[in-house]
Chain A
Amino acid sequence: MELRISVTELARTVSLAQGVVQRKNTMPILSHVLLDAQVDDAGNGRLQLTATDLDVGVKASRPCEVVTPGAVTIPAKALADMVRVLPGPDVVLKRLPNQHVEVKSGRTKARLMALSADEFPTLPAYESAHFVPMDKALLVDMVDKTLYAASLDETRPNLNGVFFEPPAQPDGPLTMVATDGHRLVRVERTFAGAHTFRLKGPVILPRKGLNELKRVLDGSDGDNAVELGFHGDNAVARKGNTLLGMRLVEGRFPDYRQVIPRLADKVVRLSRQDLMESLRRVSVLAQDKLQAVKVTLGRDQLVVSCTNVEMGEISDDVPVEYAGAGLDVAFNARYLVDALASLDDKNVLLKVTDNLSPGLLVGVDEPRHLCVVMPMRL
């Protein structure tokens, strides 16, 4: 194998692999990227880069000058570190005998240890997925609004991702839900083709895969188009000549509908910014991990307060519109701040029932984005 490609282009391509390759060194081959240089029937050379940790995989194809077709497997980190500092403008990658790859750029010449391309695992046929075109900004927004709430607790794998449920009807919304068992967020968005994913039922998109999806989409330029599809037990996103696949999370997502409060009788209207700032001030005195703060409701009054037996106390008045009964309820301040930060409206509604039932945060004009937060018991 021998190919010539611009250093900038190679650097951008290799960076796609960096989040995917396995950091833990359980299987050495998984810390490598597969580079495959081929010439198509029209005589155009292409470099295809493949990286995977067996759960998430990325395949990116870029035009290049192919001197000799062939494939090789190089350590991802070494390659990424190197291309970042190569003088350019072009780099030549050439496989040498004895499993080495020569890297030449400007006056720089290096040799990297490689592994045989035959050892690299075969990825699922991501390209055969049935793809549905989506708006990139919409997809990124839905992921941003949900992913933060997914659980990091590996003993609860079914919560380590985002629930994804396309509508049955053409005019219905795509629903995405995430929860860590303490708070939950549900986002619904309607778009043309939302009902055409051809899924048998809802699925759970893995957290790591969605993080990579954001990287791929954030780093992509050009139009606002992206495609999302499913193939076997994989979800696949396609952006230009890059394919990102992720193995769906197995297991059942909890019945999120039952925990979304419907009949909360205490509805407070307030400025999103005001509450967020109060929470940030008050949580200065909150205990590190649990971040417990008290929310006290009174007529047209909401007081956020925190008492720390070792340090002291703090309280903050938030201007609100409220005509309901008084209530004391404690929350993890971070959960409220996360939820408020993810909402878009200037004004939001806080809906609560009592100090043991879930509270709800929702934008005044955007009922399709709900944040549910379970109180703390003091």
Chain B
Amino acid sequence: MSTSSPPPPERPRSKPWERAIVHVDMDAFYASVEQRDRPALAGKPVIVGGDSRRGVVSTASYEARRFGVKSAMATTVAKRLCPHAVFVPPRMSRYVEVSKQVMAILGRFSPTVEPLSLDEAFLDVTGTDALFGSPVELCWRIQRAIKDEVHLSCSVGAAANKFVAKVASDMKKPHGIVIVSPGEEQAFLAPLPIERLWGVGPKTGERLRALGFATIADLAAADVLALQRRLGGLGAHLHALAHGRDDRPVDDDNERKSLGAERTLEHDIRGAGLVRRQLIPLVDEVSSGLRRAGMRAGGVRLKLKYADFHRTSREHALAEPAQDSASLLATLDQLLPRVDLERPIRLVGLAATHLQPADAPRQASLFAAPQTSRSESLGRALDAIHAKHGKGAITRGEVRDGDRLDRGNEHRAPGLFDDDDDDDR
């Protein structure tokens, strides 16, 4: 293992790099974008996230992290820990834009780039040494290109597989470079806690600790058959990861497979009517996203998280690929009766699946609602209004603000159908 910036002379390698995988992780991405776009925020603790009662911290700048503020923490807690922090509502479209710039830079280093989210990606850089030099040099070049061109900092890890590269990029944040050479994986992983392994969440972690496994070394030393007996298929998977083995390819299939939106509700809700009303703005959001992406959906997936954190999801095919709200909503209405809506629900989500380009030929349906094209024009008109006057400038009568239980998101701008006492709810 070696860390560097700028590149040090490299040690002779014991083993050849059969594959070279790089993981790039932007440092405090949303907060960094805000600090960059608004110089007044530079050097200050910045917290990006909703500020409603149920809101959570999306990203905290490193200045705020020093006070113990973390992602996914309730904003109320964050406020207590760091009262002088600047709270900023997320501007997703801005982050999407910057993310595209970052991914374009990464695309110069390898044709095989797999974005995991807006702020991280894998690159398969096998065999690029003639172009970009050793792995250390390559990582340093990537880091510098991103710094120079979009003025943002990132951390980079390189290893012979995805899992180790991802762990590596997280070791020296922010602005770190960590290289794990082939053959060094196990030694590198050994001292780390088991929660670093993919597939180990809090629950599995607890279970593993109860079984006497605290570090990755403990798991690596365990008998794989014994692990399998206790944990089933997960046992073999974790054992392989603990040994630094992971042969998944970098998936550069850049076709988006789904496009979704979800919302954590301020109060738990139940009942078909209320749930549907919460979903309608998401239908419009997804529909608008589809138009932006130039895609049509072949299916719709409904996702619910109950108050007890149990999740459920159901998917249904559209009669005909579509991007308009009415078609998505009609399909959603077929899904709603198939889930339990009488248990308290804390999160609703909706995704368009089986995406296909909007200009691809599509088989028309015998029984599709004939007003699809009208609904499509309506959607485009709404997009134009939102672009000109801001999101929320116009909303559906069905989702008057009084019905909306969530807050602190982009729908907060006063709408045509808002009541006057908007702020008292």
Q: B-contacting residues of A (Cβ < 8 Å)? A: 153, 155-156, 179, 181-184, 254, 259, 287, 290, 292, 330, 332, 356, 358, 372, 374-378
Contacts and interface: CB of A to CB of B under 8 A. Distances in A.
A368 to B, nearest CB: 20
A181 B319 contact: yes
A181 B361 contact: no
Contacts of B309: none
Given A153-B317, A155-B316, A155-B317, A182 B361 contact: no
Interface stretch (B250-258, B273-281, B362-370, B401-409): B362-370
B361 A292 contact: yes
**Among B317, B362, B363, B364: residue with most chain A CB under 10 A:** B363
5 contacts: A155-B317, A181-B319, A254-B367, A290-B360, A376-B363
Interface in B284-331: 316-317, 319
A181 B366 CA distance: 5
Contacts of B367: 181, 254, 259
Q: Which 8 A-B pairs rank lowest in CB-CB distance, beginning with the nearest? A: A292-B361, A259-B366, A374-B364, A378-B361, A374-B366, A182-B363, A376-B361, A254-B367
B355 to A, nearest CB: 15
A119 B361 CA distance: 52
Contacts of B319: 181
Contacts of A290: 360-363
Interface of B: 316-317, 319, 360-367
A332 B360 CA distance: 13
Contact of B365 (A182, A292, A330): A182
A332 B317 contact: no
A183 B361 contact: no
B315 to A, nearest CB: 8
A179 B363 CA distance: 14
Nearest to B334: A155
Given A182-B364, A377-B364, 18 more contacts: A155-B317, A182-B363, A182-B365, A182-B366, A183-B366, A254-B366, A259-B367, A290-B363, A292-B361, A356-B364, A358-B366, A372-B366, A374-B363, A374-B366, A375-B364, A376-B361, A376-B362, A376-B363
A182 B362 CA distance: 11
A140 B316 CA distance: 33
A181 B369 CA distance: 12
Contacts of A356: 364
A353 B377 CA distance: 24
Nearest to B365: A181
A332 B361 CA distance: 10
A183 B317 CA distance: 17
A291 to B, nearest CB: 9
Nearest to B315: A155
Contacts of A254: 366-367
A191 to B, nearest CB: 29
A356 B362 CA distance: 12
A184 B366 contact: yes
Nearest to A182: B363
A356 B368 CA distance: 12
A182 B366 CA distance: 5
A374 B361 CA distance: 13
A181 B319 CA distance: 7
B328 to A, nearest CB: 16
A377 B316 CA distance: 22
Nearest to B364: A374
Nearest to A373: B366
A48 B363 CA distance: 48
Nearest to A254: B367
A283 to B, nearest CB: 13
Contact of B363 (A155, A184, A332): A332
B317 A377 contact: no
Contacts of A153: 317
Nearest to A372: B366
A374 B365 contact: yes
Contacts of A183: 366
Contacts of B364: 182, 356, 374-377
Nearest to A378: B361
A377 to B, nearest CB: 6
A290 B361 CA distance: 8
Nearest to B317: A155
Contacts of B316: 155
A377 B362 contact: yes
A155 B338 CA distance: 12
A356 B320 CA distance: 13
B110 to A, nearest CB: 25
Nearest to A292: B361
A29 to B, nearest CB: 27
Nearest to A156: B317
A254 B362 CA distance: 21
A327 to B, nearest CB: 15
Contacts of A292: 361
Contacts of A155: 316-317
Nearest to A183: B366
Contacts of A181: 319, 365-367
Contacts of A374: 363-366
**Among B319, B362, B366, B367: residue with most chain A CB under 10 A:** B366
Nearest to A358: B366
A232 B365 CA distance: 33
Contacts of B363: 182, 290, 332, 374, 376
A65 B248 CA distance: 62
A41 to B, nearest CB: 53
A292 B361 CA distance: 7
A251 to B, nearest CB: 12
Nearest to B321: A377
B366 A179 contact: yes
Contacts of A330: 361
A79 to B, nearest CB: 34
A9 B360 CA distance: 55
A290 B362 CA distance: 7
A157 to B, nearest CB: 12
B319 to A, nearest CB: 6
A126 B58 CA distance: 63
Nearest to B356: A290
Contacts of B366: 179, 181-184, 254, 259, 358, 372, 374
A215 B363 CA distance: 32
Contacts of A375: 364
Nearest to A330: B361
Nearest to A287: B361
Nearest to B299: A155
Nearest to B373: A356
A332 B367 CA distance: 17
B298 to A, nearest CB: 11
B73 to A, nearest CB: 39
Nearest to A180: B366
